[in-house]
A and B are shown apart, each in its own frame.
Chain A
Amino acid sequence: MQSIVFWLLAIVSIAAALSVVSARNVFRAALALVLCFVTVAGLYITLNADFLAAVQVLIYVGGIAVLIVLAIMLTREIQRGSQSNRLRIPAFLLAGLFFAVVAFALVNTGWKISTDDPLVPTTPALASRLIGPDGFILTVEIAAALLLAAVLGAIVLVREK
């Protein structure tokens, strides 16, 4: 059962990612990107990461995808928009070489697979990892400051003078 779900999600996500980089129409590329985000949320569920799946749908599909579609609509180069530059073939070779080398290294590494059962649900455990004692509370606060700075910077950048 898990393997059927994995292969289905893997094939759909690879196909969606390929159409993101190959579609001529930028808007269709954005829709393929949304499909890829949704399949990644499905992959999180197969990895027992229920909180991450919810966050993926909320932030990527609900936030970043809408932001990208808005930017596409405001920049009016939809139809002929997604052209390749003259580095297409070197970039293809580089990406293929990268895939071959990294996949070879990953498959030939002896990972220490844990035998513990994964935590389900993960949300309480993640909360105590993030804001509990000996957690990542400093990083959480830095992330809050980063988001505030990013929002202010984006407002300043797009504001009409």
Chain B
Amino acid sequence: MSIGLEHYLVLSTALFSIGLYGALAKKNAVVILMSIELMLNAVNIAMAAFSNYIVPVLLTGQVFVIFIIVVAAAEAAIALAIIMNIYRNRETTEADKFDLMKW
């Protein structure tokens, strides 16, 4: 059985769901960030699969993947800087202890 678009899309959905579970269920902010990176990668696989199977000459999906990677890199740098800043002030990386601004 040859590999089609659906295989890549279902794989991408599986990776996205695993990342969603990690982002919702984990305490450590670094692990939450890693789960978000997993979700971004899953979306990138879906984009590249659409690009290959539906618009193979226009490459629109691959252009989107490049911009998603740019935004993911910026997001990772900022998020890790924020996490390290909070760790310096509050000695923890657990997301449910970041409650300074909670009512």
Question: A and B: partners?
Answer: yes
By secondary structure, the B interface counts as: helix
Chain A residues touching B, range = 35 or more
Interface residues in B31-50 (C-beta closer than 8 Å to A): 31, 33-35, 37-38, 41, 44-45, 48-49
Q: Which residues of A contact B34 (CB under 8 A)?
A: 20, 29-30, 33, 68
Whether A103 touches B93, Cβ cut-off 8 Å, given contacts A3-B3, A44-B48, A64-B76, is: no
Whether A116 touches B93, Cβ cut-off 8 Å, given contacts A18-B18, A49-B48, A71-B83, is: no
Q: Closest CB-CB distance, A108 to chain B, in whole Å?
A: 9
Whether A77 touches B28, Cβ cut-off 8 Å, given contacts A2-B3, A113-B4, is: yes
Chain B residues touching A, range = 35 or more
- Is B25 touching A48 in the complex (CB atoms < 8 A)? no
Assembled-state Cα–Cα distance A70/B83 (Å): 12
Q: Which residues of A contact B18 (CB under 8 A)?
A: 14, 17-18, 20-21, 95
Q: Which residues of B contact A47 (CB under 8 A)?
A: 8, 45, 48-49, 51-52
Assembled-state Cα–Cα distance A99/B12 (Å): 10
Q: Give the contacting residue for B21; candidates A75, A91, A158; CB below 8 A.
A: A91
- Is A68 touching B80 in the complex (CB atoms < 8 A)? yes
Q: Give the contacting residue for B80; candidates A17, A67, A103; CB below 8 A.
A: A67
1/0 per residue, CB under 8 A from B, across A127-154: the answer is 0011000001001000100110111011
6 A–B pairs (Cβ distance < 8 Å), ordered by A: A10-B11, A14-B18, A20-B22, A82-B27, A143-B70, A154-B80
